[in-house]
Structure 1
Amino acid sequence: MMQAPVNVSDARAVAFDMSALPDLSFTPCRRIWLSHREPIFMLVDAVDYAWLAESMWNVWHAGNGRGDRWMLYAKRNVGPGRSTVRAHREIMIAADPGRDDAFLSAHVVDHINGQTLDNRRCNLRWATKRDNAISRRTRGTAPTLESIVQRVIADALAAAAQLEEMPF
Structure 2
Amino acid sequence: MPKSAAFPEARWHFIGNIQSRRISEIVASATLIHSLYQLRHAEKIDHAAAELSKVQDVLIEVNVSGEASKSGVAPAEAADLVRAVAALSHVSVRGLMTMAPAGDAQAAREAFAGLAELAAQIRAQLPAEDAAVFTELSMGMSDDWREAVPLGATIVRVGRAIFSESYQE
TM-score band by shorter chain is: under 0.3
The normalised TM-score by structure 2 is: 0.25
Q: Structure 1 length as normaliser, TM-score?
A: 0.25
> Which structure: larger Rg?
1
